[in-house]
Amino acid sequence: GTLATNSVDSAELIDGAIDTSHLASGVGGKVLQCLHYSSTSSTSSTNNTVVIGTVSITKISSTSKLLITAVAYLGQKTTGNNTDGANPTLTLANGATEILKFYHADVPMWRTDAQYHGEYDTHPYFGSLLYSVAAGSHSIYLKLASTGDGVWVNRSAGASTGFGATGLTVMEIEV
């Protein structure tokens, strides 16, 4: 193809030739700050809600957004045949306000049959969102709730050591 009139290719640009004043509106966002929590520690939930990760952030810019990503490794708490799991729910919250429910099982999480060694499995669950929120300080929580047989975080019923790492990353993005 042919370059359009008055266009410039990369060979003709020098370092610093293009800055934000030369970009179209809405182009050229940047990461203002990035905070991360991770853990390989094991904890569990049975008929309750537990916080499995927290990141506290104070926004630098009133016009920025928060890019939030989370991962949790879950394993069942029981080792019996044909148990119905825990019906877990994973949520992201800003303080007491739920902002994303990224895993919820209205049906059992999994069924175990000891001959297949399902009690040794952990399963990763991921969630992310771009979140518009007012300036100021915010505590972002990754929460796990469960009913029934209960779930482990970062391990399974059949293994006493960790098989995953829970992580929560919050980036302030200028858009």
Bigger pLDDT: 110 vs 152: 152
Q: What is the mean pLDDT of residues 129-148?
A: 86
3-class SS at 12? helix
CA-based nearest residue to 168, from 56, 45, 59? 56
Q: Is the pLDDT of residue 111 over 60?
A: no
Residue type, 65: K
Residue type, 83: T
**pLDDT interval class at 173 (50, 70, 90):** very high
Contact between 36 and 168 (Cβ < 8 Å): yes
3-class SS at 161? coil
Q: What is the mean pLDDT of residues 5-30?
A: 67
Q: What is the mean pLDDT of residues 110-137?
A: 72
Q: What is the mean pLDDT of residues 6-34?
A: 71
- Computed over every residue of the chain, the mean pLDDT equals 78
pLDDT of residue 107: 45
pTM, two decimal places: 0.74
Kindly list the distances between the CA atom of residue 167 and the CA atoms of 37, 41, 54, 141, 172, in Å, as whole numbers in the listed order: 6, 11, 9, 11, 17
pLDDT of residue 12: 65
